[in-house]
Amino acid sequence: MPSLTLLRHAKSSWDDAVTRDFDRPLNARGRRAAVVVGSWMKGEGLSFDHVAASPATRVIETLDGVSEGYGRPIEPAWDKRIYLASAATLLDLVREFPAGAAHALMVGHNPGLEDLVLALAADSPDSPLRGEVEIKYPTAAIAVLHWEGGWADACEGGAVLDRFVRPRDLAEGLGPDD
């Protein structure tokens, strides 16, 4: 049964004068959130045998912070197709994950990640976490899903959403009003 963790990049800075969206760095709150999320992942015992990530600057910097909090490097396969990808594209990428991988991490952007969670997670009254994702999938949020079969069996409504954690759930000062 595969386990897929989806991590949205941490809060980026709109104050930097970069010419391309791809090059936007994290802001101070985003850097802090990435470390906090990495620490939470370590505490939860999350581990990955496959990691795929967008090569955008804000994703690279998010993974640097997550690695710091996690206590060891998280080394992804950088994949430009993840950058601002639709849920359909992301699902195609998930279906390509190595058959031998049991736990994968994908790090990318919205709206694709949020839409992917909503597409994969079964819509049922027993899934209050799905409703939280519908409200908002903020920066540095993590969703963990699993389903029967392999990566190629990922399908709409076929997954269980085990966890949905936002930075504001983990530390003060990381919420939208902080």
Q: Name the binding residues for substrate.
A: 58
Under a CB-based contact definition with an 8 Å cutoff, are residues 30 and 140 in contact? yes
Token readout for 48 is: 């990955």
The answer to whether 34 and 69 are in contact (CB under 8 A) is yes
Return binding residues. 58
Three-class HEC string of 24-69: CCECHHHHHHHHHHHHHHHHCCCCCCEEEECCCHHHHHHHHHHHHH
